[in-house]
Chain A
Amino acid sequence: MGVNNVVNRGIGYARDRPRAAVVAAFGGYLLFDLLLKIAGVDLGPIGGAIPATRVVGYLWNGLVIGLVIGLAGIGLSLTYSILNFANFAHGDYLTAGAFSGWAVTYIIAGLGGAGRIGQTALYLLLGIGSYRLESADLVSLVLLRTPPAEAGANIWLSPVGVVVGLVVAVLATVLVALALDRVVYKPMRGQSSISLLIASIGVAFALRYFVAFVFGNSRRIVTSTTKLPSVSIGGAVINAHEVSLVVAAVVLMVGAHLLLQRTKLGKAMRAMADNRDLAQITGIPTERVIRWTWMLGAGLTGAAGFLLVLSQSGLGFTSGWRLLLLIFAAVIMGGIGSVYGAIAGGLVIGLASRLSLVWLQGGFASFARPTAFALMILILLFRPSGIFGGVKTA
């Protein structure tokens, strides 16, 4: 009786919404196949054997990268809905945040930690004692050229350095975004979304190569894993950097949620995303809201850039640009303008890009990114309001 009911309801659902039924059936097939693979049951075309520990590893890595994408996606989604254009420079904001934040972390860590710097500053003020800073090459520290182990760029060796670096990444990206808004986007308020999009391509070029001009165009390893604590859970190795990333990302996301839901500013932002003209005639100071939008969006993006390096450890001047399309995919998947959609979309994209490796093996492993892009195209074509159904910034 119960089973019959469920089957009948399922058939009715499939008849009403055939497309959704196909997606659900495909998802169900993949889940079933995954379970068979973990159980090690080989049924010819489906099933097979894949160690459960590897799946756990994929899930953890997917969560980590998904949180970074989600965090950056909030910023992209906010500017997309409130300023009404697809910001192609968003990835380069992320790069700028990563470089500026880590430069500060390197200085603090390389000079022997915040304690030493504070002590020396105190001695200098009081005119007593001697300089106690390490004799480090400041220039190569600022430009992230010191080998990471030597600089001690690691949350265990220099926790204060990493925290201060994160704060600086946020502040620096906010400054960059405000300056660019003043110079580039402010004179263009009210122009078509395509004009703004083209301008953002110009901004992307200028910003990306400015970073290359200052920091050089070689890709480098930034963090060191020397003495870094790590635990193995279910076969997946989880290190302190990844844990701190998850904590920081969740805290920032909750902060963004509170800001948008509990403050008047958040209400004004949501009103502007819904209808700018209406917001303006109700007396919302649109320019100030736009400024706050950039600050919030860019701040989260800068943090995402810093945290990306914390977990992946590699950094080059194209790092953010390479991530941009995945961020777009997340934002589109969650529905443009929805902050929670961006977070959820980021997690979906992150998890899908790693979990897809269960099926994409050998030479096909490089198809993880194309798969995410294809998913994005399909959603734009068939469900442009996002998989969660067009929830606004609410």
Chain B
Amino acid sequence: MSDRDVTPPVEGDAGPRELLARAFRPDAVKVTALFAGIWVLFWFLSVQLGYPINGIVSTIRRVTFLSAVYALAVLALNLHWGYAGLFNIGVAGFLAIGAYTTAILSGPTGGTPSGLGLPLPIGIVGGVLAATVVGLLAALPALRLKADYLAIVTVALSEIIRLAFNSRAFSGVTGGASGFDSLPTNPVRSLLLSEPGSIISTPTALGRFVFGLAESLGLSRLVAINVVYTVGTLVVVFFVYHLLERTAKSPFGRVLKAIRDDDVATRSLGKDTRDFKIRAFALGCGLMGLAGVLWFVTGPRSTVTPSNFRPQLTFYIFIALIIGGAGSNTGSILGAAVFASLLFEAPPLVSTLATQTLQVSAQPANLIEALVPLASGNLAPLLGFLLSNIDTLRFIGIGVLLVALVQRRPDGLLGARKETAAAVDLSAASRPADRGGSDE
């Protein structure tokens, strides 16, 4: 601090570490670096596992897609919790509303159950609107509750929504417990194929280009379609990110942050906080609806079944937000990517790889059979048991991580929460050099 006072910061005499830190500061660089790291990791894992090129690309594609849809949902939740301080843990319910509405509006007629066969854009708009309206209806009475009551109300609402979709009473419309089977066609298929239903049909002009490119890399058509869809999802994430960044920096966003930090003070400044909260809640719910559509309706291997929308899903999204740091849109994307790839998708791959390379053949049926051989110094059964139960272990790890984060880093692992009270940047670096430091 002291040498900053005498010498104003000059570009040239910064050490390499500071230069690196400065270069890493822009949010775009952080996101790009994280995604690049994730891609390298999964490329490495799938090459080590001996996947063919199609397998490698679809592994990376799957991880990217999951990161992207998580990012959409986390961004929407960040608007609620990070900006407006609304503790909404009914995210899964709003994803379900969006997904089901779109499926019902745009599903082909004559399927089981029959959709309305409307064009997909209408269906998507319908899904987003439905989620917004339900959010609005929920917000009108619920937002005057204190935070932990709101949490209980929202999680109960999401269960009511899921159980209603699950019910036999409406199975003619929703498909009941087995879910809505006849989903609308993936828009990328319609874009690339003359007959979207058949993958071997003649490609369209754009399709010829894409499939030609894919073929030269040795990729199948299915992989190409899914990659294009994933890229499209990333584009949506980009737009939603910018929408929310604009919102956060607008006067509207500043009021939201003020509400989060002190509701009473904001009200005493003459702001109708309830109105702001309701609008923010409805906007966030609409975005959750969009996430639900892109994730469960039109995405690769998507299914719209009630069991997709259990409260666990809400908690995954919530944990991703906490990892990234509530209140930061960039943090939301980073947290979503870290959660979806490193915590969710990587452990099973690492486990398979470890089982192969370490040649663990022991597969004890339960923990006791795994622990007993320890007495004779035999580690292999325990290792085999741990590796084959990686699915369970990763949830224990996620729970422990959440506790550790709340205790030690409540602002998130990547702690990117920046609060600027002024509309213009007032940090030292942006000041004229001749005045730097004199008034610190």
Contact = CB atoms under 8 A, between A and B. Distances in A.
A58 interface: no
B407 A199 contact: yes
A184 interface: yes
Nearest to B168: A363
A104 to B, nearest CB: 15
B407 A188 contact: yes
A261 interface: no
Interface stretch (B14-22, B100-108, B156-164): B156-164
Interface in A52-96: 85-86
Given A205-B398, A205-B399, A364-B169, A212 B147 contact: no
A201 B167 contact: no
A207 B156 contact: no
Contact of B396 (A139, A206, A328): A206
A367 B145 contact: no
A364 B141 CA distance: 26
Interface size class of B (residues with CB under 8 A): 35 or more
Given A206-B396, A209-B395, A212-B392, A199 B160 contact: no
A373 B160 contact: yes
B318 A201 contact: yes
B407 A210 contact: no
A142 B372 CA distance: 14
B87 A194 contact: yes
B402 A205 contact: yes
Which secondary structure dominates chain B's binding surface? helix
Contacts of A362: 168-169
B152 A363 contact: no
A369 B159 contact: yes
B399 A367 contact: no
B272 interface: no
Contact of A85 (B148, B167, B170): B148
Contacts, number: 136
B155 interface: yes
A355 interface: no
Interface string B405-416: 111001000000
Interface stretch (A119-127, A161-169, A272-280, A376-384): A376-384
A228 interface: no
Given A203-B403, A377-B156, A195 B410 contact: yes
B145 A380 contact: yes
B400 A206 contact: yes
A325 B407 contact: no
* Chain B CB within 10 A, most for which of A209, A325, A367: A209
Interface string A197-219: 11101111111111011101100
Given A199-B407, A205-B402, A328-B152, A367 B167 contact: yes
A65 B269 CA distance: 50
B369 A325 contact: no
Contacts of B32: none
Interface residues of A, number: 49
Contact of B166 (A143, A216, A366): A366
B170 to A, nearest CB: 8
A51 interface: no
A143 B406 contact: no
A126 to B, nearest CB: 28
A229 interface: no
A67 B401 CA distance: 35
B148 A86 contact: yes
A325 B164 contact: no
Contacts of A205: 315, 395-396, 398-399, 402
Contacts of B166: 366
A367 B168 CA distance: 10
A143 B366 contact: yes
B195 to A, nearest CB: 38
Interface in B127-172: 141-142, 145, 147-149, 151-153, 155-157, 159-160, 163-164, 166-171
24 contacts: A143-B366, A143-B368, A194-B87, A197-B151, A199-B406, A199-B407, A203-B399, A206-B403, A207-B399, A213-B392, A213-B396, A329-B156, A362-B169, A363-B167, A363-B168, A367-B163, A367-B164, A367-B167, A367-B169, A374-B160, A377-B157, A380-B149, A380-B153, A381-B141
User: Ordered nearest first, which 9 A-B pairs have the shortest CB separation?
Assistant: A205-B399, A202-B402, A206-B399, A363-B169, A363-B168, A202-B403, A209-B395, A373-B156, A370-B160
